[in-house]
Structure 1
């Protein structure tokens, strides 16, 4: 079978077999490096994906609002007839978006936006007997809003359905008010309107504050209670690429004149933390890769020194410098390939162990880790490339050996 292989492959594999212990140690070193890189990559992607889902599952990617009222210039006359001006900032009353249906239609026509949902939002009170609690009343179109925030998946009891006399509340508010599905609560707004609504569902958004504050009703019900008949306070958007939300928000703000707040701007510290985590992990993987390449290079340099006579004999028998160079390049690539295969198996074992160990108190996985085959393929490719690059210097050195000096040496 070896006769079918090119000359360089025959010699390269023979050199590796002759130095079995040396080859074994460097392959193990490469395997550990590849295993660490694959394990860290999969762990980071899984952890960030979990955090990302938790943050975005309870808020829209972009929220459009009417611009805040600007401070007005007030002229005042002083006793000495000197005119002074002061800026007086008006109180920010509840504003609705002008021609919001037109804005909604424009957003639905954009290819970078997946879902559009108008909302009527404002402060209100829920009353049951002598118990009273302030809430944020949110009027929604259920089907559209569910594309922004998957409320249907967050229901702990009841159903995701509403009529004009229905409401959905959070688990904490239900506990505070001592109510459940089928009970009634009276909702009173600052506009003076009040309405008794049926509780048809209780949800858990994963945040105590949101579960205590958010109350969902139909859009028309909220418009009547908040004195916003026919209007909406905001338009929520979901975009194709959440990481491009800030750029899309700026584009929408420029084209509509509305305030466009992205989830990135609203969670700037979280976004910066994710970025810092990504960069630090990348640096660790780069340094591990360099250490793997340095290990391969050091072993091959020793191999060149140990096999000077063999190299000299091969050159004397007619072997070209290119053939000698390819022998050591093939060794580097083979070491990288074998190390990546063993390292991938090691990474799969570590990931399986992590899934078994890292669990929530209820037995569910702490976060989902996908064993993406692209991690293993890229790691194998990079390990082979690292082996080739690491072998370049020893290969050049071997190719430049003078046959006579090498045989004598």
Structure 2
């Protein structure tokens, strides 16, 4: 084996130009593989951050209440035994107990209750319809990342405070510290002080949403001790359908994964992943074809040398080993060179969270560097099998005569 390795190394060193060209070709293919992996992974992460970054992966709510159907009977109305329709639930009672239950499910990373209602914000004679959302103080940024989006004030919710979007603040002429009145659909009103102004880049949240402590929302909406939903973020957002199914089966609650509410986004991400896989496969095919072609040419040029080796007792297995090892060495060297080139070229790109418009969202962490080197070495080894078998089958007499 050691002698075979020396022979393979000597063969590669006897034609340094050809070997260097082979390694460079493999390195280029590996660089493309890593770059495409990093770019496609970065695009997916950017898309997720810009869309799902401020959304729950799974939403847990109380099921709608069934309504009885009134049917006429003998000139009067009675309640039918069957149910004809449903009405919205009053929300989840005892949210703390439900939070403890949900925390026990594997994969759940973040739990945040919320209470949602509607009404208008009033400042002087100016009113704007808004969705009022009550959040747990200390967990304001658990789902929506307010801490990264503040343009004024603080994301922390205090008693009597309200967070509003930049567009809504501009429409109402509000700034941090100014007072505004919220009037709920049930007629209740409360005066709030603007504690923070954010810009999320999401129209509905920037233009028509207000966030207050959940206790304030429960009071003005007359929902004491209740929440509209409990939102979850998972370790793996793509596991949302499976986690949602387990929670629904165990609790009987209405559980909705993001793959249902954002089905088009889910399909887009899946299509993007399939496209990336196809590009990677083509990159590997390029490596295999290139190495196989070059080694076939090497086999033809060294027919005489191979014949002499066979005449001196070299077995077919030995010849096969030498040529396969050459392919593996070329693949390994090219893989390492391509990986180093990719790291040097892609490291200066900013993290996905800091990508600005017009910049490529390249995430080197998703470049599959180790996989690229391993696949390249394996592909090069397999590519060397065909020329290696051809070399091992050479008749020594005919080879020497040529």
TM-score (norm 1): 0.88
Shift of 1:389: 0.3
Q: Which residue of 1 aligns with 2:202?
A: 207
Instruction: Summarize deviations over 1:157-185 as a string: whole Å, max 9, x none.
Output: 11233333111111111011111101111
Equivalent residues, number = 396
CA–CA distance in 2 between the matches of 1:150 and 1:308? 67
The change in CA–CA distance for 1:354 and 1:232 in structure 2 (over 3 A counts) is closer
Q: Which residue of 2 aligns with 1:116?
A: 111
**Could you say what secondary structure the match of 1:134 adopts?**
strand
Comparing 43-52 with 12-21, which one deviates more in the overlay?
12-21
Shift of 1:350: 4.2
Q: After TM superposition, which residue ranges in structure 1, 4 or more long, deviate above 6 angstroms?
A: none
Q: Which residue of 1 aligns with 2:63?
A: 67
CA–CA distance in 1 between the matches of 2:350 and 2:92? 48
CA–CA distance in 2 between the matches of 1:242 and 1:386? 33
The change in CA–CA distance for 1:69 and 1:211 in structure 2 (over 3 A counts) is same
CA–CA distance in 1 between the matches of 2:236 and 2:180? 39
**Could you say what secondary structure the match of 1:142 adopts?**
coil
Shift of 1:266: 1.4
Structure 1 gaps of 5+ residues are 80-84
Shift of 1:97: 1.6
The change in CA–CA distance for 1:33 and 1:400 in structure 2 (over 3 A counts) is same
In the alignment, structure 1 residue 12 sits paired with structure 2 residue 8: yes
Q: Which residue of 2 aligns with 1:304?
A: 299
Q: 2:31 aligns with which of 32, 35, 47?
A: 35
Shift of 1:39: 0.7
Structure 2 gaps of 5+ residues are 76-80
- The question of whether the paired residues in 2 share the 8 Å contact of 1:155 and 1:203 is answered with yes
Q: Which residue of 2 aligns with 1:287?
A: 282
- The question of whether the paired residues in 1 share the 8 Å contact of 2:140 and 2:155 is answered with no
Comparing 150-159 with 390-399, which one deviates more in the overlay?
150-159
Q: Which residue of 2 aligns with 1:379?
A: 372
- The question of whether the paired residues in 2 share the 8 Å contact of 1:308 and 1:406 is answered with yes
In the alignment, structure 1 residue 370 sits paired with structure 2 residue 364: yes
Q: How does 1:213-362 map to 2 (within 5 A)?
A: 213-351=208-346, 360=356
Q: 2:382 aligns with which of 383, 389, 392?
A: 389
Q: 1:139 aligns with which of 131, 134, 146?
A: 134
Comparing 5-14 with 223-232, which one deviates more in the overlay?
5-14
RMSD: 2.8
CA–CA distance in 2 between the matches of 1:400 and 1:78? 99
CA–CA distance in 1 between the matches of 2:370 and 2:82? 66
Instruction: Summarize deviations over 1:228-277 as a string: whole Å, max 9, x none.
Output: 12211111122222221111111111111111112222111111111111
- The question of whether the paired residues in 2 share the 8 Å contact of 1:74 and 1:87 is answered with no
- The question of whether the paired residues in 1 share the 8 Å contact of 2:60 and 2:253 is answered with yes
**Could you say what secondary structure the match of 1:147 adopts?**
coil
The change in CA–CA distance for 1:354 and 1:154 in structure 2 (over 3 A counts) is closer
The change in CA–CA distance for 1:359 and 1:220 in structure 2 (over 3 A counts) is closer
TM-score (norm 2): 0.90
Shift of 1:280: 1.0
